[in-house]
Structure 1
Amino acid sequence: MSDRPFNTWWGTPLVGLLGGYLASQIGWPLPWMVGSLLAIILVRCLTPWQLAEIPGGRKCGQWIVGIGIGLHFTPVVIEQVMSHFGLIFFGALITSLSAVVGVWLLRRTGEDRATAFFSSMPGGSGEMVNLGARNGAVLSRVAAGQSLRVLVVVLCVPAAFKYLLGDGAAVLHPATVDWRWLAVLFPAGALLAWLWQRLRQPNPWLFGPLLVSAAASISLDLHIGLPDGGSQIGQWLIGSGLGCHFNRQFFRRAPSFMGRTLIGTALSMLIATLAALGLSALTQLDLRSLTLGMMPGGIAEMSLTAETLQLSVPLVTAMQVMRLLFVLFLAEPLFRYWNREPEAA
C-alpha cells in the first residue's frame, strides 16, 4: 500500500520532461511549461494512466521561478515601474473588470450568481475556490472554470506573442551567476514562503521567494540571475503540476459551462489587448509587455513568458500582482453587494 502513491506520480516528471524536450525541439515558446503540460494532459486523457502531481513539485517550481523573477528587479527598473504606477493600476483594474463578460455568459446558462462570479474572476484558483465556498458556489465548477482559464492563457498567449507579435526588444537581463548570493536567497525565499503559507496568504511559494530576491536585488543592485537551465526546471515543474488537473472527465463535464468559460476567457483576452493598445498609444511603454501584463493568466506563467520573449518582466509582474490584489480584496465585497437583491426565479 505504501508504494501506491509513488506509482501514481513517478511517471509525471518523465512524461513532462519528454513533452518539454519535444516542444523545445520545435521551437515552441515557453517549451518546458507548455510541453510538459500538454504531454501530461494527453497521457491522462488518452490512456488509463492517471498521472498524479509530484509531491511538492509545483511549489518547488514556483520557488525557483519566484527567485528568478525577483532578480529582474533593479533600482532603475523599479523606478520606471513606479513612475507608471497609475498606468499599472488602471490596466489591472481593466483586466479585473473584464471578468464581468464571463459572469454574464455563465449566468445565461443558468449558473447561480456565486458560481458564475467566482468561476470568472481572474484570481488564483485556490483563492477563488475558498471565496466560492464561503458564498455558496458550486466548487467543482469554480475550480474547473479557473483551471480552464489558466490552461487557455498558457497554451495560447506565448504562441500568439511569438508568432504574431514577435519577440520584444532585448532587455538587459542579469548575466552573471553568483552562487554565494543564490545560496542565501533560496533558503531565505523558502523561509518566507513557509511563513506566508502559515499565515494562509495567496501564492506563498511564488510571492515569498519573489519578495526576497526582489528586495535583495533592488537594495543591493545585484545584477545576477539564475544559472542556465534554472528557469526551465521551474517551467517543467509548474507545467507538470498544472497538467495533473485535467483528464477526460474534466473536458466532458458540463460542455455548455466549459464552452462559455472559453468564450469568456477569449473575450477577456481581447479586452486586455485593446486596452493595452490604448495605453501604449498614450505612453512610451512596450505594447507587448503591456498586453502580457494585462492577460488573465497566472503570475508565474505570464512572467516566464515575458522572460522567454525578452519583455519587461518587472512591468508584467507588477501588473499581474496588482490584478491579483484587486480580485482578492474586492471580489467578495462586490459579490455580496451584487447578491443583496434576490435572484430572479
Structure 2
Amino acid sequence: MSDRYPLKHLAAPFAGLLGGWLASLIHLPLPWMTGSLLAVILVRCSGWLITELPGGRRVGQWLVASAIGLHFTAPVLEQVLGHLWLILLGSLGTCLLSVLGIAILRRNGVDRATAFFSSMPGGASEMVVFALRHGADPARVAAAHSLRLLLVVLTIPAIFIWTLPANAPPTLVQPDWGWLLILMPLGLLAALIWRRLGQPNPWMLGPLLCCAAASAIFDLNIALPAAGSAIGQWLIGSALGCHFDRKFFRSAPAFLLRVLLFAVTAMLAAAAGAWLLGRFTEMEVAGLTLGLMPGGITELSLTAEALHLSVALVTALQVARLLLVMFFAEPVFRLWQRRAPELDASQ
C-alpha cells in the first residue's frame, strides 16, 4: 500500500479510537491512551503495519501539555518552589539509577555508548540523536526507550489507580474559553520556538511552560475540557503503538530482556526512594513515586491527575530529570570516554 494512500495514516487513529472506547467501557486506567496503544500494537502484530497519523502525536502532546500546565496556579507554584531542593535531589537520584542499567548491559557485551544512552532516563528521540553522535547503535537505543515507555504506560497507571484510593476530588474547574483561545495558540507558538531552538521535547515542554507561566502569573483557575485531554491521550497512544510490531519483539531478545530487568529494578528503586523522601518530608508518597518513576511526563502526570494528586509536583520532578539528562548526559559520557577509553587493540 502506498504511503500516500490516506487509509494507511487513518487506520492507526481509527484503531486507537476503537481501542480507547473499548478500554473506557471496561474502565481501564487512562483508557484513551492505554486502549489506543494496545489496539494499534495488536493490529501491527497481526501483520498490517499501519503508520501513525502525521503530526498526530504532536497535537496530542500539545493538548495534554496545555492541560497539565494549567495546574500550575500561583499557590501550587509556590509550593513547588518551596520544595525545589527535593525536586533536584529526587531527579538526580533517578538519573544515578542509570549506572545500574549501564552495568547490566556492559556485563553482557553491549558497547559503552549503546549501554550509556539506552540507560539514560531521557526522551527517546533525543537519546537516539546523542547515540548517533557517539557511535552507538541507534536501533537498540530506540528499542530500549520504547520498551521502557511501554512498560510504564501499561503498568504504572494501572497499579496506582487500581490499588490507591483517590484523594477527594478538587472543586470542579470550568474552562474559560476567553483564556483558552489565547493560551492554546500561544502554547503552539512556544512549541515551534522551543523546537527551533533545538530544545528537548518541544511539543510537551513548550505548551506546558507557556500555560504554567500564564496560570501562575495571572492566578488563573481554569482547565481544558475533559474531551481535550481524552483526544490528546488518544492521539499519543495511537502514535506510540506504531513503534511496535512482531519484528520489534523478536529483535535482540536478550538485549530487550536486560533492558526490561533494569526498568523494573529502577521502578522499584524509585518507589523505595519516594518512600524514604516521604518519611523525611511528610509529602505524599504516591506523588513522589510518580515523579521519580523512569517514565514519561505525559503518562505519569495524567495518572497524578486521575488520582487527584499534585500534578505540578509530579510534572516538576519529571521535567527536572529530563533537563538534567539533556544537559549533562553528553558531557558525562565524554568524561567517561576520556577516563576509561576503549581498549580495542587488546580485545
Q: TM-score range by the shorter chain?
A: over 0.9
Give the corresponding residue for 1:325. Answer: 323
Give the corresponding residue for 2:62. Answer: 63
Deviation at 1:76, TM superposition (A): 0.6
Matched letter for residue 64 of structure 1: L
* Partner Cα distance (1:83, 1:199) in 2: 30
Give the unaligned 5+ runs of structure 2: none
* Partner Cα distance (1:172, 1:224) in 2: 12
Give the corresponding residue for 2:74. Answer: 75
SS at match of 1:110: coil
Q: Within 5 A, what are the aligned runs for 1:307-318?
A: 307-318=305-316
Give the corresponding residue for 1:26. Answer: 26
Give the corresponding residue for 1:111. Answer: 110
Deviation at 1:342, TM superposition (A): 2.6
Matched letter for residue 287 of structure 2: S
Structure 1 runs (4+) greater than 2 angstroms displaced: 1-5, 170-174, 342-345
* Partner Cα distance (1:173, 1:290) in 2: 23
SS at match of 2:51: coil
* Partner Cα distance (1:19, 1:281) in 2: 40
The yes-or-no answer on 1:139 pairing with 2:138 is yes
* Partner Cα distance (1:173, 1:255) in 2: 48
Count of matched residue pairs:
343
Q: Within 5 A, what are the aligned runs for 1:154-303?
A: 154-164=153-163, 166-170=164-168, 172=170, 175-303=173-301
Deviation at 1:167, TM superposition (A): 3.4
* Partner Cα distance (1:122, 1:88) in 2: 15
The yes-or-no answer on 1:97 pairing with 2:96 is yes
Give the corresponding residue for 1:123. Answer: 122
* Partner Cα distance (1:207, 1:306) in 2: 18
Check whether the contact 2:161–2:306 (CA below 8 A) recurs between aligned residues.
no
Check whether the contact 1:171–1:312 (CA below 8 A) recurs between aligned residues.
no
SS at match of 1:229: helix
Deviation at 1:48, TM superposition (A): 2.1
Check whether the contact 2:290–2:300 (CA below 8 A) recurs between aligned residues.
yes
Deviation at 1:174, TM superposition (A): 5.8
Matched letter for residue 75 of structure 1: A
Deviation at 1:265, TM superposition (A): 0.3
Q: 1:180 to 1:2 in 2, by over 3 A?
A: farther
* Partner Cα distance (1:108, 1:19) in 2: 40
* Partner Cα distance (1:3, 1:74) in 2: 44
Q: 1:286 to 1:278 in 2, by over 3 A?
A: same
Deviation at 1:3, TM superposition (A): 6.8
Q: Structure 2 length normalisation: TM-score?
A: 0.96
SS at match of 2:226: coil
* Partner Cα distance (1:298, 1:105) in 2: 22
Deviation at 1:4, TM superposition (A): 3.2
SS at match of 1:278: helix
Deviation at 1:316, TM superposition (A): 0.2
* Partner Cα distance (1:32, 1:309) in 2: 16
Check whether the contact 1:88–1:319 (CA below 8 A) recurs between aligned residues.
yes
Q: 1:180 to 1:272 in 2, by over 3 A?
A: same
* Partner Cα distance (1:133, 1:256) in 2: 22
Matched letter for residue 321 of structure 2: R
SS at match of 1:172: coil
SS at match of 1:131: helix
Check whether the contact 1:15–1:39 (CA below 8 A) recurs between aligned residues.
yes
Deviation at 1:269, TM superposition (A): 0.3
SS at match of 1:53: coil
Provide the identity percentage.
57
- Aligned-residue RMSD, C-alpha: 1.4
* Partner Cα distance (1:174, 1:124) in 2: 33
Deviation at 1:228, TM superposition (A): 2.5
| Deviation readout 1:108-131 (Å, 9 max, x if unpaired) | 221000000101101000110111
Matched letter for residue 10 of structure 1: L
Check whether the contact 2:57–2:235 (CA below 8 A) recurs between aligned residues.
yes
| Deviation readout 1:14-56 (Å, 9 max, x if unpaired) | 11011111111111111110110011011101x2211101110
Residues 286-295 or 324-333, more deviating: 324-333
Give the corresponding residue for 2:148. Answer: 149
Q: Structure 1 length normalisation: TM-score?
A: 0.96
Deviation at 1:305, TM superposition (A): 1.3
* Partner Cα distance (1:214, 1:321) in 2: 13
* Partner Cα distance (2:274, 2:199) in 1: 30
Give the unaligned 5+ runs of structure 1: none
| Deviation readout 1:75-105 (Å, 9 max, x if unpaired) | 1111111111111111111111111111111
Check whether the contact 2:161–2:303 (CA below 8 A) recurs between aligned residues.
no
Deviation at 1:230, TM superposition (A): 1.3
* Partner Cα distance (2:25, 2:298) in 1: 23
Deviation at 1:155, TM superposition (A): 0.7
* Partner Cα distance (1:82, 1:73) in 2: 11
Residues 6-15 or 58-67, more deviating: 6-15
* Partner Cα distance (1:123, 1:309) in 2: 25
Deviation at 1:281, TM superposition (A): 0.4
Matched letter for residue 194 of structure 1: L
